[in-house]
């Protein structure tokens, strides 16, 4: 679809960057190699990028430097995840990601590790489960207009609050689903881009940053590494006030609190202020700065490595005015997308504009 | 491009596998050493009932769990210091489902425990407390297994319980 949309074939692609997350989902080690044919990388320069849930934006950043370095004119970025093959539940694939001596023996799941981050975030700022639940309501509703959405729904805050507790304060409707999905983007150097399209969307800034591996080594109330990644991207893009200069944001939302947490790391508001923007309607699709107009991971689905790339694709459509029913009004000109993951330690950021 | 929608996996052809199993039911297993810092850290818990960290003089950090180098400046860390097993709850959760998504009969309380002036801490269980009584900042102290039951594992720490100390 990506190639078709710009009238290209694989002949015009100089290199391929592939994003796919834990090997354990597919029970194939080195699955980057296994996926090479579907990625269109046969006999081409190819690399796989992998920073857990942060992969989806990371691979676009990687694709950017393949082209920006001058080494290649075009790069096909492909990201995929297939979680349905991992039984009885893909959560089990994450048992081996923790420190094997100090964490794994306790049988950690991502669910309860994230729950502790949510607890900390709520505690430090005095934020309630009710305030956070509105993210899930907003994003699942936004997803009603996304043709590839897995869990679009019109739900209420009460539905979220009354859903099954999985690891307090996380309830079932606070969490994105397990998903299968794939996304592809074509990146091109300026002269090539101008040949391919008269409506290019430019990558204006990229950034990524990893914090320490150990959960206990940082205060979980704030993702400082997301801030560092964002500052790198904003500096490149010449952005001084992201709260004003960004028209649309797609922060990573595998859990509802994560949209708020990550938006704060992206400096879209002050620490602890994201729930107020949400409550005031600022982040609705028709608000001053929509967050996750795509429907996000909560609504479209969370095919881990592909989710961040889905967010970049959303910005592409929005900035070209091609988002259909999801179109944000007011001719948006600049957006930021972000993904997050690994051991709650990586932020990956991209700024795009027209 | 179109694909027929399949709603039942049993309608499809599938290959079954198990992580850590290869062909012919050969079970893959491993051995992984604790390393220099891990060796001493777990021996101190097992043999002496002590929790030890390592200090970086330059960065003014005490690492817990200990390491033999500083992740910030790469200095070699040779100074070992005892960390008193009295800390506070940095954050916590009550876990209601297992890794497969099945409901647990009783929720399990998990926490991150931090210690004053220490860089790091433990992810571990809370015990001798009801979920409604847990809060961030709660004083907790380490409960070790009896010496003869300790194996040199993080599970030599049974859990952290509410503590009475200043």
ipTM: 0.92
Give me the pLDDT at residue B18, please: 59
Are A117 and B91 in contact (CB < 8 Å)?
Answer: yes
How many C-beta neighbours within 10 Å does residue A14 have?
Answer: 18
Looking at residue B155, what DSSP letter applies? Answer: G
The band of B1, judged by pLDDT with boundaries at 50, 70 and 90, is: very low
Residue A122 has pLDDT above 70, yes or no: yes
Give me the pLDDT at residue A89, please: 83
The band of A95, judged by pLDDT with boundaries at 50, 70 and 90, is: confident
Chain A neighbors of B100, CB-CB under 8 A:
88-89, 91-92
Give me the pLDDT at residue A92, please: 81
Which residue, chain included where needed, has tokens 């720490």? B157
| Degrees, nearest 5: CA angle B129-B135-B139 | 70
Question: Over the stretch A296-345, which tens digit does the pLDDT of each residue have?
Answer: 999 999 999 999 999 999 999 999 999 999 999 999 999 999 999 988 99
Mean pLDDT taken over chain B: 89
Give me the pLDDT at residue A13, please: 98
Distance from A184 to chain B by nearest Cα, in Å? 15
Give me the pLDDT at residue A12, please: 97
Instruction: Write the secondary structure of A74-126 as one string of H (helix), E (strand) and C (coil).
Output: EEEEEEEEECCCCCCCHHHHHCCCCCCCCCHHHCCCHHHHHHHHHHHHHHHHC
Instruction: Please compute the mean of the pLDDT values over residues A102-109 and round it to a whole number.
Output: 91
Distance from B38 to chain A by nearest Cα, in Å? 8
The band of B16, judged by pLDDT with boundaries at 50, 70 and 90, is: low
Closest alpha carbon within chain A to B67 = A214
Q: CATH class for domain A2-84+177-353?
A: alpha beta
Residue among A101, A108, A119 whose CB faces B91 most closely: A119
Give me the pLDDT at residue B6, please: 67
Are B90 and A219 in contact (CB < 8 Å)?
Answer: yes
Question: Over the stretch A18-56, which tens digit does the pLDDT of each residue have?
Answer: 999 888 888 888 899 999 999 999 999 999 999 999 999
Are A109 and B99 in contact (CB < 8 Å)?
Answer: yes
Does pTM surpass 0.80? yes
Question: Over the stretch B21-30, which tens digit does the pLDDT of each residue have?
Answer: 455 566 666 7
Residue B41 has pLDDT above 90, yes or no: yes
d(CA B124, CA B39): 20
Give me the pLDDT at residue B27, please: 64
Of all residues in chain B, what percent carry a pLDDT higher than 70? Answer: 82
Structure tokens belonging to residue B29: 């297993």
Output the CA–CA distances (angstroms, integers) from residue B120 to A217, A256, B74, B90, B101, in the order listed.
4, 27, 17, 11, 30
Are A93 and B19 in contact (CB < 8 Å)?
Answer: yes
Size of interface A-B (CB pairs under 8 A): 109
Mean pLDDT taken over chain A: 96
Domain regions of chain A by residue span: 2-84+177-353
Interface of A with B (CB under 8 A): 1, 24, 27, 84, 88-89, 91-93, 95, 99-103, 105-109, 111-113, 115-117, 119-120, 123, 164-170, 212, 214-217, 219-220
Instruction: Please compute the mean of the pLDDT values over residues B45-69 and round it to a whole number.
Output: 96
Of all residues in chain A, what percent carry a pLDDT higher than 90? Answer: 89
Are A216 and B17 in contact (CB < 8 Å)?
Answer: no
Output the CA–CA distances (angstroms, integers) from residue A278 to A35, A131, A137, in the order listed.
39, 8, 11
Give me the pLDDT at residue B32, please: 80
Are A216 and B42 in contact (CB < 8 Å)?
Answer: no
Q: Which of B62, B96, B103 to mutate to test the interface with A (most CBs of A within 10 A)?
A: B96
Q: What contacts 24+ positions apart, CB below 8 Å, involve B73-81?
A: B77/B37, B78/B54, B79/B54, B79/B55, B80/B40, B80/B52, B80/B53, B80/B54, B80/B55, B81/B52, B81/B53, B81/B54, B81/B55
């Amino acid at each position: 679809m990506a190639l078709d949309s710009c009238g290209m074939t694989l002949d015009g692609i100089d290199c391929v960057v592939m994003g796919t997350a834990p090997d354990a989902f597919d029970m194939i080690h080195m699955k980057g190699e296994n996926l090479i044919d579907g990625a269109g990388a046969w006999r081409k320069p190819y690399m796989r990028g992998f920073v857990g849930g942060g992969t989806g934006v990371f691979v676009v950043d990687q694709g950017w430097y393949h082209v920006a370095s001058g080494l290649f004119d075009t790069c096909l970025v492909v990201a995929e995840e297939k979680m349905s093959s991992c039984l009885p539940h893909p959560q089990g694939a994450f048992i081996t990601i923790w420190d094997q001596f100090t964490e794994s023996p306790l049988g950690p799941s991502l669910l309860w590790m994230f729950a502790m981050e949510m607890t900390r975030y709520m505690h430090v700022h005095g934020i309630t489960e009710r305030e956070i639940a509105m993210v899930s309501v907003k994003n699942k509703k936004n997803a009603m207009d996304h043709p590839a959405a897995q869990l679009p729904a019109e739900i209420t805050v009460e539905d979220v609050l009354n859903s099954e507790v999985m690891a307090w304060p996380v309830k079932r409707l606070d969490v994105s689903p397990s998903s299968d999905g794939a996304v592809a983007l074509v990146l091109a150097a300026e002269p090539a881009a101008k040949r391919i399209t008269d409506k290019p969307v430019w990558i204006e800034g990229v950034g990524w940053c990893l914090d320490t591996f150990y959960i206990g080594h940082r205060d979980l109330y704030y993702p400082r590494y997301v801030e560092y990644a964002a500052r790198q991207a904003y500096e490149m893009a010449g952005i001084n006030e992201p709260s004003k200069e960004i028209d649309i944001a797609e922060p990573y939302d595998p859990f509802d609190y994560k949209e708020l947490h990550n938006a704060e790391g992206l400096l879209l508001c002050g620490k602890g202020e994201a729930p107020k923007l949400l409550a005031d309607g600022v982040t609705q699709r028709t608000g001053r700065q929509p967050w996750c107009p795509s429907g996000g991971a909560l609504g479209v689905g969370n095919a881990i490595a592909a989710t961040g790339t889905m967010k970049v694709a959303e910005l592409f459509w929005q900035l070209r005015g091609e988002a259909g029913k999801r179109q944000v009004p007011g001719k948006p000109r600049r957006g930021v997308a972000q993904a997050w993951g690994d051991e709650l330690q990586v932020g990956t950021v991209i700024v795009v504009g027209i | 491009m179109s694909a027929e929608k399949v709603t039942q996996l049993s309608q499809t052809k599938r290959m079954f596998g198990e992580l850590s199993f290869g062909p012919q039911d050969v079970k893959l297993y491993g051995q992984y050493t604790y390393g220099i810092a891990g060796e001493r850290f777990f021996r101190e818990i097992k043999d002496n009932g002590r929790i030890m960290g390592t200090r970086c003089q330059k960065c003014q950090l005490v690492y817990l769990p200990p390491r033999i180098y500083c992740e910030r400046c790469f200095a070699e860390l040779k100074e070992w210091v005892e960390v008193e097993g009295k800390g506070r709850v940095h954050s916590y959760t009550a876990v209601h489902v297992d890794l497969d998504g099945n409901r647990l009969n009783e929720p399990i309380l998990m926490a991150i425990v931090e210690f004053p002036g220490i860089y790091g801490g433990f992810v571990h269980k809370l015990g001798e407390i009801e979920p409604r009584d847990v809060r961030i900042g709660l004083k907790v102290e380490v409960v070790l297994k009896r010496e003869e039951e300790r194996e040199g594992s993080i599970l030599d720490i049974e859990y952290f319980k509410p503590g009475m100390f200043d």
